[in-house]
Amino acid sequence: MLRYFLIRLAGAIPTLFAVVTIAFFLVHAAPGGPFDQEQTLTPEIQANLQRAYGLDQPIWTQYTRYVAGLARGNFGPSFKYKDFSVTELIADGFPVTLELGTLAMALALAMGVPLGTWAALRRDSVGDHATMALSVAGIAVPSFVLLPFLGLVFGIRLHWLPVAGWEPLSVAHLLLPVVALTLPPLGVITRLTRANMLEVLRSPYIRTARAKGLSLRAILLRHALRPALLPVASYLAPAAASIMTGSLVVESIAGLPGIGRYMVQGALNRDYTLVLGMVVIYSTLLIVLGLLVDLLYAWLDPRVRLHA
């Protein structure tokens, strides 16, 4: 298992390398540079800045330098947030984003799977229809509509929760952003679980389990849950991507000091290293998650063989 994991991890390096390369040349191919907007600068200072950051070098030299830096875990200096390295910026903001995303993912799973199972057991009941209607709404209404709306209701009108802002370890400040990020994947997970649970409950081995006189609890937990979770497992990577995307807007609406805001700002400012750093971080996260999903798959279904 560990060996498989390491082999796959090594296999992810070329993918990551390709991503970095494409992103690097895309960013550099775009018109404009990081210091264009600072009009007060004299041409000499501009040239000095360019030299200081190595931007006067041929692009291949810049590329090899950047990749060599990355290999040592150095994301380079930020062009816009002078005095800060990209590594520092990411180290500051990443815990907030990670906390937000992990909470949203955990909540979506912890609520979606039981809800979907419950709806499947009560198929065609009022509760089932209501759950399905809510999950469609959850899927359809984007977080950047939901979060301002929740802020309007619970913050501005009811004064129960702060509309925006951040304090370490404050549940109140995290609650609305987490809810806004949770609902879309929650809707998908609920629907997936329900559909597959219905399928599994019809299967002959569930009939065998019932013929053995097992309790509903044992049938669901031991016999039905794992096969019903297979499609949910393969949805985890898209879910993570959707939460990451959502965090870009949710962080800026709620004023959270995560790294989500750096993506858009960095791209607008032509802050090459910051944008590339973000791409590397998010791609790595998704690749590692994809790997974990493969392992999860093998546990859910022993017929799946792990081969590198």
Residue 45 Cβ vs other proteins, minimum distance, rounded to whole Å: 25
Q: Is the Cβ of residue 47 or residue 195 nearer to other proteins in the bound state?
A: 195
Q: Is the Cβ of residue 153 or residue 172 nearer to other proteins in the bound state?
A: 153
Residue 131 Cβ vs other proteins, minimum distance, rounded to whole Å: 14
Q: How many angstroms separate the CA atoms of 246 and 244, rounded?
A: 5
Q: Which residues contact 199 (CB under 8 A, 6 or more apart)?
A: 228
Residue 139 Cβ vs other proteins, minimum distance, rounded to whole Å: 6
Q: Is the Cβ of residue 47 or residue 225 nearer to other proteins in the bound state?
A: 225
Residue 150 Cβ vs other proteins, minimum distance, rounded to whole Å: 11
Q: Is the Cβ of residue 27 or residue 161 nearer to other proteins in the bound state?
A: 27
Q: Which two tokens stand for residue 129?
A: 């229809």
Q: How many angstroms separate the CA atoms of 4 and 114, rounded?
A: 31
Q: Is the Cβ of residue 96 or residue 224 nearer to other proteins in the bound state?
A: 224
Which residues are near other proteins by CB under 8 A?
15, 18-19, 23, 26-27, 29-31, 123, 136-137, 139-142, 144-145, 148-149, 151-152, 156, 163, 202-205, 207-216, 218, 222-223, 226-227, 237-238, 241, 244-245, 248-249, 253, 263-264, 267-268, 275, 278-279, 282-283, 286-287, 290, 300-303
Q: How many angstroms separate the CA atoms of 136 and 297, rounded?
A: 26
The alpha carbon torsion through 1, 14, 19, 64 (nearest 10 deg) reads 130
What sign for the dihedral angle of Cα 168, 169, 174, 179?
Answer: positive
Q: Is the Cβ of residue 179 or residue 248 nearer to other proteins in the bound state?
A: 248
Residue 273: Cβ-neighbour burial (10 angstroms; 0-12, 13-18, 19+): buried
Residue 251 Cβ vs other proteins, minimum distance, rounded to whole Å: 12
Helix count (H) and strand count (E) of the chain?
12, 0
Residue 30 Cβ vs other proteins, minimum distance, rounded to whole Å: 3
Amino acid letter, 261: R
Q: How many angstroms separate the CA atoms of 221 and 117, rounded?
A: 11
Q: Which two tokens stand for residue 244?
A: 């990451």
